[in-house]
Each structure stands twice: as structure tokens, then as C-alpha cells.
């Protein structure tokens, strides 16, 4: 198996990547794209299925209707975990040959685990639809019951589109930049007792929005807030910078590590709450209670504030203004007195903090975007010789790149890499890497 979730076969000494396959499959495949050193193919006919293959519990998964949500819905859960552990061990083997990477920690919730979802809206035969983009396209694949997010999300989405269609709302067309409703989104509490509904529109106009609010909240009492987010720009970015609160509150309150966290619809919060709990538990075990901790890319403080009662001091650094507002609220709400927020881009402020001779952390924890760390951050960490660094990443490839840079300095060694199954039924793996000065 390969990163991106494809199976690997070989033809004339060339690696051929085939989606929706498994180790041990015997199949006929048709080449769809060929390069000098590799090729991609589509499975045409299976003669024998490999280890852990099962019937996928979704009509739009697989070769004929390739919804882009799942990669491995055709594999039983034990096989998925095995593949993920193998992928991570293979990726980091050359970087740390002596390191023993443990098994991937499983998710407590295997289906319907996502607490957040944004689905594109389109039109088929004059009817508004929602779904998930097919792989590598902007073709919307409709589904009846997504295995990744709660059924409640799809039920609300379907009814909301019916109400808005009757009010004359049209789906957005990205080619002509016409129509209005672009995405329908959700953020839900773990017990699904509270849901924030988000309508992403091209303009500020939303006909009969009061009718929508009245009808949808009567039918779905779990809805605690409805937000109209306005994105007037072309492009792939989902959320815009303008918003209207149509009803209720634009946030939820979640519990983590004995604390209450306000989570706005546009603040970052891990999509799998059961795995987030396990990550926090491991950090509490591994971080020195006497440490001063910098939490980089802190978001609303899920990691840093959860550690506050366990360590000497925490400084959260985050540039998203909504996340900082949530984070400062969470400080006050939980009576945390040994933590502060600094609103700034990490790559801008971290070198200045270290160069000024001010406060220096014993430990840095960080959960950067999928693109990983920018060079000024890596340079600042090296120059300051931070004793211990915990790096949480949803991208194994950029994690390896950044760790290699730090290890190549000769100052650091990897103490631990722990994979977590944050995203069941996909090939994606969340990893917590711990490195320390030699």
C-alpha cells in the first residue's frame, strides 16, 4: 500500500498505483495515466480479493462512483489500522532506523465520527443537491448516508435545501460565478445535542431566511445556531470573511480534559473528539510538570490550555482572530491564570521572541497546518535550542520533511512517533512526534 491509499502493483519494473485495492488482490487494471517512473490505473476486474476486504456500506464508494470522502471503506478496521502503521513505519524508517514506532491508536468512533463537515451545493435537473467532491474533481457526488459524519448533518442539509429551493435560492455555479448557495456546513457537539448550521453564500442576500430559521429549528431542535457566511470571491476557499448570525449562537461548548471549550464554527478543533482526548492524555504523560510551554498554532487552546494545570506556564500563539477570541474566553471560563494568548503569525513572532532574550520555553507543542512549518519557525527553534518539541501533524510527508531538517542539525533526536487514527476509512494518519536535544 502507498500514501494516498492506493495499492501498488508492478508492470515492466514500473510501479502502478491502483485505488480501492488491497494487499493480495489479483485484478485486471487499465492504465489511466503514465509517467516515466510510475503509472496510475483503474481496477477493471477482480479475480481474487486480498486481506480484510469487505463490502463497503455506501453506495457511492468505489470505482464507479468515486466519492472523495473515503479511501478504505472496503477494508475492515483491523486491516486499516495495520496499513496505517506500516505506512508510517516505512516513511520514517530511513530517518530514524532504530526508532520503534508503536501501533496506530484506534478511534473509539469508527463511523459518523466527524464533528465538522462542509459539503458543496450544486444542481441536478433543476434540483439543489449536496454531497462530496469526487477525487481530484469538482464533480459533486450525492450520498444517502455518509459514513464519516453524523446522519443528522445529512438530514438537516436535505431539508434546508428543500426550504431554500422553494424560496428561490439557487446553487452556486463556480464556472459562471452565478447562483448563491455555495456550501452547507455543520459543527456538532460530540453527543450531537447541539449543531451549528452554516450557509455559505456568494452574496449577502438570502431570501426568506426568517422562514428557513423558523421551519428548520422547529424540525431539528438540536440546531443551536445558524450562520450565513458570505464568500464573494472565486476559488476553492470555502469560508469568506463576512458573516451574519441568523439565529442562536455561532459556537458550541465542548468538554475536554475536565475543561469547557467554546468552539466557534470557524475555529479549528480536531474533527475526531475521541482521538483528541487520547492526544491530550499522552501529552500530559510526556510533558514535564515544571515546564514553560509554548503552544504554537494553538487555535482556541485545545492542547495548551488542557496542559495548563499540569505545567508551570503556557503561552498560546495563534493568528486567527476568531480562534484567539475563543481561546481568551476559554481562559476566563475555566479560571486559568498561568496561560496567555499572543495573536500573531508564528513565523513572524517566534524569531523575535527568541532574539529579544525574553521568555524561553522548556517545551514547544505545535499543530501547524497541513503544509507544515515555514523556514523562519524551523530556524528559530534550532537557534533557541528548545529542549523538547512535540509536533502534531495530519501530514506525514511534511512532518518527515520538518523533522529531517531539525535532525540534520545534529542537535536533536526523535524520542517517539505515535500514530493516531484520527480519520477512519481514509488513508490519513495523525502523528505526534516527540524530539529532544541530544
- Asked if residue 1 belongs to a domain, the reply is no
- Asked if residue 75 belongs to a domain, the reply is yes
- DSSP type of residue 309: G
Q: Which range marks the domain in which residue 75 is found?
A: 7-90
Boundary-marking domain end, from 206, 226, 254: 254
In whole angstroms, give the CA distance from residue 305 to residue 327. 9
Boundary-marking domain end, from 90, 124, 149: 90
How many structural domains is the chain composed of?
A: 3
Gyration radius of the chain over CA positions: 23
**CATH number assigned to the domain comprising residue 322:** 3.40.50.150
What the block records as the C-alpha cell of 381 is 527553534
- Asked if residue 264 belongs to a domain, the reply is no
List residues bridging with 294 in a β-sheet: 315, 364
- Quick one: 318 and 430 in the same domain? yes
Residues identified as active-site = 394
- Quick one: 220 and 278 in the same domain? no
- Quick one: 310 and 415 in the same domain? yes
Positive or negative torsion for Cα 411, 415, 419, 420: negative
Question: Does residue 71 contact residue 17 with C-beta atoms inside 8 Å?
Answer: no
pLDDT tens-digit profile, the chain (438 residues): 999 999 999 988 899 999 999 999 999 999 999 998 899 999 999 999 999 999 999 999 986 767 899 999 999 999 999 999 999 999 999 999 999 999 999 999 999 999 999 999 999 998 999 999 998 888 999 998 999 999 999 999 999 999 999 999 999 999 999 999 999 999 999 999 999 999 999 999 999 999 999 999 999 999 999 999 999 999 989 999 999 999 999 999 999 999 999 999 999 999 999 999 999 999 999 999 999 999 999 999 999 999 999 999 999 999 999 999 999 999 999 999 999 999 999 999 999 999 887 788 999 999 999 999 999 999 999 999 999 999 999 999 999 999 999 999 999 999 999 999 999 999 999 999 999 999
- Quick one: 278 and 363 in the same domain? yes
- Quick one: 60 and 135 in the same domain? no
Positive or negative torsion for Cα 354, 323, 304, 104: negative
Closest-CA residue to 257 (of 296, 291, 301): 301
**CATH number assigned to the domain comprising residue 70:** 2.40.50.140
Q: Please identify which residue in the block is written with the cell numbers 502507498.
A: 2
Q: In Å, what is the CA distance from 81 to each residue of 24, 48, 104, 122, 398?
A: 17, 22, 6, 35, 21
In whole angstroms, give the CA distance from residue 414 to residue 410. 11
- Quick one: 130 and 168 in the same domain? yes
- Asked if residue 265 belongs to a domain, the reply is no
Boundary-marking domain end, from 223, 254, 285: 254
- Asked if residue 170 belongs to a domain, the reply is yes
- Helix (H) / strand (E) element for 294: namely strand 292-296
- Quick one: 82 and 205 in the same domain? no
- Asked if residue 158 belongs to a domain, the reply is yes
- Quick one: 65 and 95 in the same domain? no
In whole angstroms, give the CA distance from residue 273 to residue 108. 9
The phi, psi pair for 214, rounded to 5°, reads -65, -45
Question: What is the pLDDT at residue 65?
Answer: 67
Question: What is the pLDDT at residue 66?
Answer: 78
- Quick one: 291 and 411 in the same domain? yes
- Asked if residue 301 belongs to a domain, the reply is yes
**CATH number assigned to the domain comprising residue 137:** 2.40.50.1070
Question: What is the pLDDT at residue 264?
Answer: 97
Question: What is the pLDDT at residue 63?
Answer: 66
- Quick one: 130 and 231 in the same domain? yes
- Quick one: 424 and 375 in the same domain? yes
- Quick one: 320 and 247 in the same domain? no
Closest-CA residue to 172 (of 161, 163, 187, 158): 161
- Asked if residue 390 belongs to a domain, the reply is yes
In whole angstroms, give the CA distance from residue 371 to residue 436. 23
Amino acid at each position: 500500500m502507498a500514501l494516498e491509499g492506493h495499492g501498488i502493483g508492478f508492470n515492466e519494473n514500473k510501479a502502478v498505483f491502483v485505488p480501492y485495492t488491497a494487499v493480495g488482490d489479483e485484478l485486471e487494471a487499465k492504465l489511466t495515466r503514465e509517467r516515466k517512473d510510475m503509472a496510475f490505473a483503474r481496477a477493471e476486474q477482480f479475480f481474487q480479493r486480498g486481506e480484510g476486504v469487505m463490502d463497503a456500506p455506501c453506495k457511492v464508494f468505489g470505482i464507479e462512483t468515486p466519492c472523495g470522502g473515503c479511501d478504505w471503506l472496503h477494508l475492515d478496521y483491523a486491516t486499516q489500522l495495520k496499513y496505517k502503521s506500516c505506512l508510517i513505519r516505512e516513511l520514517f524508517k530511513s530517518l530514524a532506523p532504530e526508532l520503534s514506532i508503536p501501533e496506530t491508536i484506534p478511534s473509539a468512533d469508527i463511523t459518523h465520527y466527524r464533528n465538522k463537515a462542509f459539503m458543496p451545493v450544486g444542481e441536478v435537473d433543476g434540483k439543489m443537491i449536496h454531497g462530496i467532491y469526487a477525487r481530484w474533481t469538482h464533480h459533486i457526488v450525492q450520498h444517502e448516508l455518509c459514513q464519516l459524519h453524523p446522519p443528522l448533518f445529512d438530514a438537516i442539509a436535505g431539508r434546508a435545501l428543500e426550504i431554500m429551493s422553494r424560496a428561490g435560492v439557487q446553487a452556486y455555479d463556480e464556472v459562471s460565478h452565478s447562483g448563491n448557495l455555495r456550501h452547507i456546513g455543520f459543527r456538532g457537539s460530540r453527543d450531537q445535542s447541539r449543531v451549528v448550521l452554516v450557509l455559505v453564500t456568494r452574496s449577502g442576500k438570502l431570501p426568506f431566511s426568517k422562514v428557513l430559521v423558523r421551519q428548520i429549528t422547529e424540525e431539528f431542535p438540536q440546531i443551536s445556531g445558524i450562520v450565513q457566511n458570505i464568500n464573494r470571491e472565486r476559488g476553492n476557499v470555502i469560508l469568506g470573511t463576512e458573516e451574519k448570525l441568523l439565529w442562536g449562537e455561532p459556537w458550541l461548548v465542548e468538554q475536554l480534559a475536565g475543561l469547557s471549550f467554546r468552539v466557534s464554527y470557524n475555529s479549528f478543533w480536531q474533527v475526531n473528539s475521541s482521538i483528541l482526548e487520547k492526544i491530550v492524555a499522552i501529552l500530559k504523560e510526556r510533558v514535564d510538570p515544571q515546564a514553560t510551554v509554548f503552544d504554537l498554532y494553538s487555535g482556541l487552546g485545545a492542547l495548551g490550555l488542557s496542559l495548563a494545570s499540569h505545567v508551570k506556564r503556557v503561552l498560546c500563539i495563534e493568528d486567527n482572530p476568531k480562534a484567539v477570541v475563543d481561546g481568551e474566553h476559554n481562559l476566563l471560563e475555566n479560571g486559568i491564570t498561568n496561560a496567555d494568548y499572543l495573536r500573531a503569525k508564528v513565523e513572524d513572532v517566534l524569531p523575535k521572541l527568541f532574539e529579544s532574550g525574553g521568555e524561553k520555553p522548556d517545551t514547544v507543542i505545535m499543530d501547524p497546518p497541513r503544509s507544515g512549518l515555514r523556514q523562519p519557525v524551523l530556524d528559530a527553534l534550532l537557534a533557541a535550542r528548545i529542549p523538547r518539541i512535540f509536533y502534531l501533524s495530519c501530514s506525514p510527508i511534511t512532518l518527515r520533511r520538518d523533522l529531517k531538517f531539525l535532525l540534520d542539525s545534529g542537535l536533536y533526536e526523535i524520542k517517539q512517533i505515535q500514530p493516531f487514527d484520527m480519520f477512519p476509512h481514509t488513508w490519513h494518519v495523525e502523528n505526534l512526534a516527540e524530539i529532544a536535544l541530544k
